[in-house]
Chain A
Amino acid sequence: MQELAGKRDIEVSLPDSAVVRDLLNRMVELEPSLARRLLDTDGNIPRYVNVFVNGRDIRYLSGMDTPITPNDEVTIIPPVAGG
């Protein structure tokens, strides 16, 4: 994503009652080049992209409506593979 955005850091402002969807949408507003990695055509995360809030996959929390606070660590992992 650094390559797509052309930078290491972006600063995102969110309201107090933000959820993951807000974060991803805001990131894409600031850096449109991230859209194809972060969101599919339905506005959800693509199948092989993992988003974790404090290490927990949002698919097992409230999905894109998982609440986030300034103290939370949100990790976005693009498709990975290994073994």
Chain B
Amino acid sequence: MELGGYADRVARIDLTAGEVKYEGINEEDARKYIGGRGLGVKYVFDNGPQVDPLSPDNIICFLVGPLAGTDVTMSGRMAVVTKSPLTGTVTDSHQGGWSGARLKWAGLDGLIFKGKAKQPVYAYVEAGKVELKDASDLWGKGVHETVRTLRERHGEDLSVAAIGQAGENQVRFSGWVNENDRISGRGGTGVVGGNKNLKAIAIKAAKNPPKPKDREAFKQAHKDVIKAINESATLAPRKGALSVYGTNSLMMAVNAIGALPTKNAQLTSFANAFNISGAHIQQSILVDNPTCHACPVACKKEVETEPGKFHIRMESVEYESAWSFGANCDNGNRDSIVFLIDLCNDYGMDTIEMGNVLAMTMEASEKELIRERVSWGDADKMVDLVHKTAKREGIGNTLAEGTERAAKAFGDPSMSMSVKGQAIPAYDPRGLKGMGLAYATSNRGACHLRGYTPASEIVGVPEKTDPLAWQGKGRLLKLFQDFQALSDSLGVCKFSTYAENPGHYAAQYSAVVGVPMDADGILTIGERIYNLERYYNNLAGIGEGADILPARFLNEPSQSPGSQGHVCELNEMLQEYYEARGWVNGVVPEEKLKALQII
């Protein structure tokens, strides 16, 4: 394949036989689906939508896009793609840091694992080759110790993505965590690894970015992007909101408009929001601002909490995680939240789902549906339950099944704030109507990253829309979903979309890959990827009627200023959205599949 940016090499690892084979990337697939998420969805689709996620026949792919690991700004992302044991949908989950870049530098676009190893193994990747090595000494260890051990064993220039005990114990929302505590958190991809006895991947490579096909075009495209980032109110290094406060800059804004789910979304604002906000953290416990490959923004916030039982030094106090263990559990104890995030990272669990599970359990306790006493905001109990969940001990065995399954087990499914089996992130659909539609129509379950409407509804990118208006959100969301599928497939950070538009992506793609592309063309690829995922889900039995929201958001009006009296008008938005998509009640019709050249 002559396309630039690709290593044109994917390793297929048969864990049952212990064999590795190599293949190039099909050029038609590369042109139609790009890489990362898009290509991963194609591989998972070709493996068959009927596969049991926990069978050896399910595949798990670690893939990067053609821009990953190059000199393109913010190009450090890796996708983990599989059929989800949490939702039954196709799922992709992403991580930053250096693991994605290093996979490219090691001479590979991806690793596809199938089968099940007889005993724990890890995949060691170097110079285009993959070796399976014994991981018996790593099994049972947390991510942090696994990373330390592998770094001691294999030396410098090493990236590691590992599962913790949660993945080994098949906690349904476990993920893959890398050496910088960046987690592919959503969708339970860690379970698939644990089920296959795959503990980690370790990638050894020195910096070796592929060169763009058209260097002159790249220089201009790169210059345009740097200019856009430097002028961005959100991304400008050391000045923009993300750079100064990290993602947790959102806490006060979302709270102010009455869209912060609080006490398992019983409420829509939190009295202690400032205490857990990015502004407070920046003033009180911030110690450093780490970054990822090729990123000048440095949105990560490394903190060190006060001495005491919640003392920890860690990075990645993200908004979603701070909300999940904070407002949603009615917990205003900043240091306990940081401690809980780090604990989840070490166990390898999705903080969003874990916080939701805890909040739902608090509601169950409040309603006396369970014997276990779990009070709102009891940070010590939260820590205890995180340990129990990761180890599947006592009530933890139920919590490990995720919010939806656990709520059913407790006798009241309406307590679960989930869609298609995955719990909601940190935006209440009654105060941010577009996010309600985004959750319902996400192909991987409730998710803020498929189509991030707060970029428009709060930040005003590309233009400001009213968070309380439902009109127009269907068309807006389609555009966001198609655009944001591209970040995930190119291998660039989604935050680039705060400054870059599809034209920027097209120009960088053209320059690196060597294929002429414009904004409309690249958005069509994003649309194709989104539709392929939907088609997969339809074939897997997730079709008409699956795009729904918990009744709380539809029927219980918000009580907070800003969104007072509002519910989420999902049905109205769905009509507009399906029309924009050309779908029929959530099902992709054949003519759409043909028009997009999916079939």
Contact = CB atoms under 8 A, between A and B. Distances in A.
A83 interface: yes
Contacts of A83: 247, 319, 448-449, 452, 454-455, 494-495
B562 A79 contact: no
B561 A47 contact: no
A80 B449 CA distance: 16
Given A60-B466, A60-B468, A83-B494, A77 B233 contact: no
A26 to B, nearest CB: 21
A50 B454 CA distance: 13
A6 interface: no
A34 to B, nearest CB: 16
B554 interface: no
Contacts of A50: 253, 256, 458
Given A81-B495, A82-B250, A57 B466 contact: yes
B86 interface: no
Contacts of B241: 78-81
Contact of B250 (A47, A55, A56, A81): A81
B331 interface: no
A82 B248 contact: yes
B286 interface: no
Nearest to B466: A60
A21 B48 CA distance: 60
B250 A80 contact: yes
Contacts of B455: 81, 83
Given A48-B459, A52-B256, A55-B257, A82 B466 contact: no
Interface string B258-269: 100000000001
Given A48-B460, A77-B252, A57 B448 contact: no
Contact of A55 (B233, B256, B319, B460): B256
A56 B241 CA distance: 21
A55 B564 CA distance: 9
A55 B563 contact: yes
A81 B235 contact: yes
A77 B256 contact: yes
A75 interface: yes
Interface residues on A, range: 20 to 34
B252 A81 contact: no
Nearest to B252: A77
Q: Which residue, B250, B256, B458, has most C-beta atoms of chain A within 10 A?
A: B256
A73 interface: yes
Given A48-B460, A55-B256, A82 B563 contact: no
B240 interface: yes
Given A81-B234, A81-B235, A83-B448, A57 B247 contact: no
A55 B561 contact: yes
Contact of B562 (A46, A52, A80): A52
Interface of B is mostly: loop
A54 B468 CA distance: 14
Given A48-B459, A80-B459, A55 B234 contact: no
A47 to B, nearest CB: 6
A54 B564 CA distance: 10
Nearest to B463: A47
A8 B562 CA distance: 25
A82 B563 CA distance: 21
B253 A55 contact: no
Q: Name the residue among A52, A57, A80 with the largest chain B CB count within 10 angstroms.
A: A80
Contacts of A47: 233, 460
A18 B560 CA distance: 24
Interface in A13-42: none
A48 B249 CA distance: 13
Interface in B201-256: 233-235, 240-242, 245-250, 252-253, 256
B498 interface: yes
Interface in A49-83: 50, 52, 54-57, 59-60, 73, 75, 77-83
A52 B269 CA distance: 14
Contacts of B408: none
Contacts of A60: 466, 468
A2 to B, nearest CB: 8
B464 interface: yes
B247 A79 contact: no
Contacts of B269: 55
Nearest to A51: B256
Contacts of A78: 241
A81 B466 contact: no
Nearest to A52: B256
A49 B557 CA distance: 28
Given A48-B233, A57-B466, A82 B257 contact: no
Interface in B56-94: none
Given A55-B256, A55-B257, A55-B258, A80 B458 contact: yes
A59 B469 CA distance: 13
A1 B233 CA distance: 15
Contacts of A56: 257, 561-562
Contact of A73 (B253, B458, B464, B561): B561
30 contacts: A46-B233, A48-B459, A50-B253, A50-B458, A52-B562, A54-B561, A54-B562, A55-B269, A57-B466, A59-B466, A75-B252, A77-B253, A78-B241, A79-B240, A79-B249, A80-B241, A80-B245, A80-B253, A81-B235, A81-B240, A81-B241, A81-B247, A81-B455, A82-B318, A82-B454, A83-B247, A83-B319, A83-B452, A83-B454, A83-B495
Given A55-B561, A77-B256, 7 more contacts: A47-B460, A48-B459, A50-B253, A57-B466, A80-B252, A81-B495, A83-B247
Q: Which 9 A-B pairs have the closest CB atoms?
A: A55-B562, A82-B247, A81-B234, A79-B233, A55-B561, A82-B250, A48-B233, A80-B249, A75-B256
